[in-house]
Amino acid sequence: MQNNLHLIEQLLSDRDLESLKKIAITCKRSINKTQHYRSALMLSAHNLKHLIKIPQLNADAVILNLEDGVCMEDKPFALVLVAIFLCKYKQTEKKLIVRVNALQEGGYEEIAYLNQFCPDAIRVPKIKTTNEVKEALDILHKDIELHLSIETSDAWLNLASLGVDKRVSAFYLGILDLFADMGLSQSLITPQNPTIEYILSHFLITCRALHVKAVAPVFQKYKDIDTFKQWIELEKSMGYDAKACISPKQADMVNDIFKPSALHIEKAKEIIRLFEQNRSKAITGFVDERYGFIDEPIYKDALNTLRHI
């Protein structure tokens, strides 16, 4: 692959799409099924320098973006670059997700093409209806997850009905587009606004009831670290464990703040040990001197804590 990088650069410079396609050889990747990712970092798929750096990024998940930020002229090249780098990263601890264009704007064709390169997930933007989800699933390879961007008023109204298959495993809250579609001012999008708290809580609880991962929205002002920290702390306090990011520094902060503390982990491990020890004696409810009353719901909460390390 290293030898091919110079060739890829040259073909991009020459705008030679057909020769570039010949480098993208169908491959069978080892699909990463994990749902325990905190930071989901967006990368523009037409930027070769970004794609090369994927192994060095600290993000748990990387979203290779074919939609916003990629002009129409570059979209065919971005699609082939995604295919090439999926072949390069056949096995990685990072979850590799491809954000295609809206279904009616090339998304169907992009999904069909990407099936042969086995991304871990396909993310579909501007989704509206259950039928659209089913149509995307019909095209998508059975081993690949489907992620949905919730950024239209129709999607919001249909939220609870969009999880039509176990492959639908994550929803991303596209709050800027959602507000635009609803005719709400983006000036309302602040950590202190009660409307925002309602939207975040409704989105999270609906996702959890569907057993779908809820990914908190991006914060576009990536240089405003203080406000970004306020968003992460608010979302963590509400129960979120994952957030979309647009810079490596944001991903680092999300990983750090969303990770359970050492004390929280130690407490969870001890509760699990105590419960399982007592359960072997047919005792499923008891009082511990340090942690108070422990029963099965407390035990399950401790298990969930360790799943998110």
Under DSSP, is residue 64 helix (H, G, I), strand (E, B) or coil? strand
Note the Cα 17 to chain centre separation in Å: 29
- pLDDT digits 0-9 by tens, 258-305: 887 778 788 999 999 999 999 999 999 999 999 999 999 999 989 888
Residue 256 or 91, more confident: 256
Note the Cα 171 to chain centre separation in Å: 8
DSSP string, 228-258: HHHHHHHHHHHT---EEESSHHHHHHHHHHH
* Residue 144 confidence (pLDDT): 97
- pLDDT digits 0-9 by tens, 177-202: 999 999 999 999 999 999 999 999 99
Mean of pLDDT over the chain: 93
CA distance 200 to 43: 24
Reported as a pLDDT band with limits 50, 70 and 90, residue 308 is low
Query: What is the dihedral angle through the alpha carbons of 237, 241, 243, 247, rounded to the nearest 10 degrees?
Result: 100
CA distance 147 to 171: 6
The H or E element containing residue 167 is: none
User: Which residue in the block uniquely carries the two structure tokens 């360790």?
Assistant: 306
Residue 32, token pair as written in the block: 């990463």
> Do β-strands 145-150 and 121-124 pair in parallel, antiparallel, or remain unpaired?
parallel
CA distance 205 to 182: 21
Note the Cα 52 to chain centre separation in Å: 20
- pLDDT digits 0-9 by tens, 226-267: 999 999 999 999 999 999 999 999 999 999 998 877 787 889
Domains and CATH numbers, the chain: 2-259 (3.20.20.60), 263-307 (no CATH)
On the 0-12 / 13-18 / 19+ scale of CB atoms within 10 A, 270 is middle
Could you tell me what percent of the chain has a pLDDT over 70?
98
Reported as a pLDDT band with limits 50, 70 and 90, residue 135 is very high
CA distance 269 to 282: 20
Residue 166, token pair as written in the block: 């176990």
